[in-house]
A and B are shown apart, each in its own frame.
Chain A
Amino acid sequence: MNPATNQISKEKARLDTIARHIQPKAEKPKLVTSTCISMSNENIVKPGIRSIPRKREEVLKLHGWGYNDSQFKMNEKGVITFTGSKYKLSGMVMPQLRPWMTETIGIEVDETSESIKNIDLSKIPKPIVNEEFTNELSKTGMEISTDPMDRLVRSHGHTLEELFLLRKGETNKRIPDMIVFPRNHDDVVKLVALAVRYNICLIPIGGGTTVTLALVCPENEERCIATVDMTQMNQILWVDEKNLLARIEAGIIGQDLERDLAAIGLCTGHEPDSMEFSSLGGWVATRASGMKKNVYGNIEDLLVHVRMVTPRGVLEKNCMVPRMSAGPDLHQFILGSEGTLGIITEVTLRVRPLPECQRYGSIVFPNFARGVECLREVALNRCAPASIRLMDNQQFRFGQALKPESEGIFSSFIDGMKKFYVTKIKGYDPANMCVATLLFEGDPTVVAQQEKAVYEIAAKYQGMPAGEDNGQRGYMLTFVIAYLRDIGFDYEVVSESFETSVPWDRVTDLCRNVKDRIHHECINQGVRYPVMSTCRVTQTYDAGACVYFYLAFKYRGLADPVKSYLAVENAARDEILANGGSISHHHGVGKLRKQYMSRTVTDAAVGTIKSVKEYLDPRNIFGSGNLV
């Protein structure tokens, strides 16, 4: 083939790929599916359009997860449906879900706990205003708001205790006194300078999806708290295809970023489960991790350059290079700073051409331990697909319960598997069976090689391929699972997820011990109903894995459900640390896990973090109180 035609055909292939990614309506090629996993076809927003408006509450729930229109709900027939139109699951009925919830956590149709409909804004704490600061600030032309609703919706993240409070129509004693909306880097520089001059407490907020109490205002903060809403800084400033870089404003929301890049045939590949709502700045500030990190890397791998405005000035590198040896890497202080050192304004990320091929897959294992061994070997051989996740038996069964009535891709797991290996299924005990879901992405030949390698390894551990549909369904559920907590709340169930990272040799033990600990602690707390504690391995590395736990129990009969829940989560975290796990793989520390910092690193290390803070922000302008 001559080079010119080769070039042309490549170009055409690329255009095809782009078309696929931005026009999901187009006929789907057989084994390839859209990257915009969460959006159903009709509701795709045109490139350049921002999915979350300045008034978040117009689209997002006040006291729950995600879009207003989307929720699990019991219909008149007592069957659970998923409402709205945003997701593939939208409008579907899941007949097995309620029986499953009754059996595994003990919900009853008539034992409910409804959330209040509207929050009484007159009860919102009065703001502490600093007139001079407000005056000076308004001169810069930045939007400022003291509207109670604006303040309320930016006063929290998504931990259980925050939502429990909101559902009762209550707020913390202290919420932001004002919200500032900077438009660009220079606005932020001016803002920080004024905050220093008038001794204002600043708390940056991106998508507000934090699950560590990172956005909670310290109760004893007497200064005016200005929460800095970054989401109006949402442009891709430039794209450098030669070096495969893009400079992006920190307030951009994940789905908008990917959509805009897709329009020009690129992607970052960073897909945290919260990507529909979380922001680039938030990712950097919490050291986020995306589902496809095996191909694209975690946020720290993607980050090439970053600007952070601190009370000392702008912290950044003066070059934009793939790597450098110039003392300790300053980026590492910005990554994971959790809003305590300054405001991240602009981030330069590595970008990649959109993958030509995407394939799903799934493997069943006779038990969890075998699955872990398989994942370890896959990691060892560096043939891990973009994503590989291993669910334990309970999650596997939970996945079954989510099966909608309609046919198609949602046909039950066993059905899907039977299509493949009707006969071989014998010998797999449904009470121990586990499933791994796979997402391959990239060049078709590479994908084919990876598939072969992974299934070969799996066979060594009695892992049996269980079809593409099962895999795809698993990933599709990723984005709706977060909605389940809200229906749990409706039926007196508190639930939460938390995660850790751990060396390979400890994974299985840690999972088992933590689940045991949860059960024992729930008994201690007087929980009267069956407890759901389940886990999955969501990320693999050479040296270990990330494990994600889900915990849910019905709190009827407990005096203080939140307190009991926290006792259980703390017990679980204690067990995690004792088992050689970390304080967090990607959620961060915030205020929720601050108490564990001294167990996680030595005093000298805590001192180092403090001294950097002391230098950059001696007056504690960034006073959210996270981390240490």
Chain B
Amino acid sequence: MTMPSHTAPTPAPAAVPARPAVDWPGSLKDAATAAFVALLLTVPLVGLRTVDRPTGLSIEARPDEVIASIVLVFLGRLGLGLIRQGLALPVLVLALAAAAVGLALPMPTQVLRLVLVAGGGIIALRAAITLTTGRSKLSQAERDRRMDRVAAKVQHATKYIAPVAIAFAVALPLTPLADRQLLDIGILLLTYIMLGWGLNIVVGLAGLLDLGYVAFYAVGAYSYALLAHYFGLSFWVCLPLAGVLAACSGVLLGFPVLRLRGDYFAIVTLGFGEIIRIILVNWYQFTGGPNGISGIPRPSFFGIADFTRTPPEGMAAFHELFGLEFSPLHRIVFMYYLILALALVVNVFTLRVRKLPLGRAWEALREDEIASASLGINRTNMKLAAFAIAAMFGGFAGSFFATRQGFISPESFTFIESAIILAIVVLGGMGSQIGVVVATLLVIGLPEAFRELADYRMLAFGMGMVVIMLWRPRGLLAHRDPTILLHGGKTPRVNAGAAR
């Protein structure tokens, strides 16, 4: 896919009342150039493919894909050129048609479908913007302001969205829709939402770029697994212990590291994440090494009842206790509610702490460390607190993960996990709680929904991140409301620029 280059020789913008004649040769030449660039790029990247044969690796050509992508680039570039020359409406119709064809008709490959739908969609969007604003492109500042307004609206609408969303999340397992698969996806999403909210404390509030958050997740998971394995402790005893241990590891890491600034800090946290994983791999006798730990006990119903059909001595069976038919789904539903509750605890904590001196000090540190110190804020303590608290929530999530999977190994705690959680926070808009939810739905939910595109998931993920960084570097829903108002929102808070 080629980005439209804006150096292309284009005539005056379409705002002129008398529509200028369409420069067909120019547009065709421009599109042909783009197609040529696409040819150069796609021949090695798409056109050749290594295939594993019994005789060894061999290379196979894929001319169809190359031709398809070149044609699509040609058409796309032509469409963009024509939009700029005042033919927005026909291009809009054609692009929508292409997207519809991609959606409806069977395609030879899934990539083709993806490109048709996405490409058609983007061009249609461009054309629609042109039709409404009379320009083919918004300036960066203008776009930012619009997105800010959207983010502010969403933020204010959260008051109404949040209860509905929570009610929906609570009701979901009770509906007939709730099968095993849906609940599993729900649990996965909620786990990432919880981790995103946890990391948001460090990254979004305190402004510390932590690239090793998964380490605390791992500490929590292994704390539970090992405590259960060696001492036979139950989940409900281990959950707080795992949180405490993760918080301790956060403090342990924090002490030497928090003096570092910016990039150095990020790199050291990244190293810490790897160190934890490598310890887990290599301390074979204690952690089981790469084989991990299996047979991690499942949680009971608050220590009262068990979810098995025939519970062990001294324990009631959940279905008997509540007079239900036995169903293996009960435990899943319980897990779902458990992670929902844990995630909400993190959320409520963050919402409350923002209005407390601790949270305000974090935000002040993010804005300006030197000024914070000049006001008597003990930076080390504040950062340690942020680190420890976020680590504790990571630890809770980790021990939940261990009990849900029943099996953990260092494989689950690689750097990519940290990267994904960080991507969720950054994509959503640093500090934005609702942003984390939206970003989790995008980053975890979409790939989960398009499982058949598995091969291209990471590609699409990377592309999405690049587009967001170009288009909205501050994150989708970055918007900050003051934590305390003097005028109760009666006088409008004048927006950027007005006072300059």
A binds B: no
Interface positions of A (Cβ within 8 A of B):
none
